[in-house]
Structure 1
């Protein structure tokens, strides 16, 4: 007869948390590195390099003339939303010349944040188009900078020509709680989109748009730098 240790009274190992990949995208100097650094519970990985004189011919710094560094590959961070959910954050480079990295970074992503700056709102279009074409759910977060004019959410939504189900919110990329709210919005929106797609495949009524994550319009803290 073979004897083993009794498991009576033993503790079951805690289940491994679900890990999800989220992209943080947007135009040059919009605050992607700031957001990842503000919310990450680990020391973020950054691939920033000093802007060089040679790059002035290809990098549009209008409106962010004080910016002295740029992300050349990605930013990386991690945040635990709760015991069962961990998000891995991948910040994308903002300049057009690094767009070849986006397809690789986007592989396996649940969803994305598109950071926007109302002073350079047109810089958000490329990221929005990218995620729309690939069917990746995303939330648009307006990073409220010092000196930037504040607009109603509905006005920004119209200017960006966003679908009604895409969440749009104000944020301060420097503030951990504000950045965390943005990430939670992305997860909620992505889960809703997944449930809706599954219902449509099964021939059921799609989940009503009214049950999507609500728009968040918190009062922004003093505006951040990128």
Structure 2
């Protein structure tokens, strides 16, 4: 409650109007089966919208299932979820499809995004090159999150940075796509990078 002066009755109290949280769009990208859908599902405060389709025999012949033998579905358009970080900020999360053949959808999914999180599986780093190249080409701030499958990563972060050829200003973190807190921390890193870029742009 706040008090405001009244010309006839001294002061009276009125209820401050609460502002809705600021909406921020973030994109979660990466190769096939790296954990994008899992990450959105782990943190979303609503039931995530997914566009999962069964992996057919034809698709199985195209997509490498060597490291994901139990995977039976794949994202064919996008994933969507949201999370309220605090009363002032709400993140809207859009997950891209991982296969190159769905790359034509990326421009629509990414439009208006403040930043991106590129998820990496260190067993197959080459699967995420397209996502890294996309964000760099578009000039969109991003961070790289190494998904610790079964609690393990096969290369340390310095090796991953060298393999992806990303500059020092791109943060690299290790996270668990199944863990809510871990996903939240990774997304906050993206926010920090995006806000720092915006501040530098204004200052410049």
TM-score (norm 2): 0.91
Note the C-alpha offset of 1:156. Answer: 1.4
Q: CA deviation at 1:53?
A: 1.1
1:132 is matched with 136
Where 2:24 maps in the other structure, the secondary structure is strand
Deviation >6 Å, runs of 4+: none
Q: Structure 1 stretch 60-69 or stretch 25-34: which is displaced more? A: 60-69
Q: Distance in 2 between matches of 1:147 and 1:188?
A: 26
Separation in 2, partners of 1:155, 1:59? 25
2:160 aligned with 1:120:
no
Identify unmatched segments of 5+ residues in structure 2.
1-10
Gaps of 5+ in 1: 1-6, 201-226
Task: State the Cα distance separating 1:160 from its structure 2 match.
Answer: 1.2
The number of residues matched between the two structures is 195
The answer to whether the 8 Å contact 1:21/1:88 transfers is yes
Q: Distance in 1 between matches of 2:174 and 2:151?
A: 15
In 1: Cα distance, 2:50 partner to 2:76 partner? 9
More strand by share: 2
Q: Could you tell me whether the CA contact under 8 Å between 2:146 and 2:153 is conserved in 1?
A: no
Tell me the TM-score normalised to structure 1 length: 0.82
The answer for the alignment partner of 2:91 in structure 1 is: 87
Partner Cα separation in structure 1 for residue 151 and residue 41 of structure 2: 23
1:158 and 1:16 map into 2 onto residues whose CA distance is 42
Distance in 1, Cα, partners of 2:149 & 2:176: 8
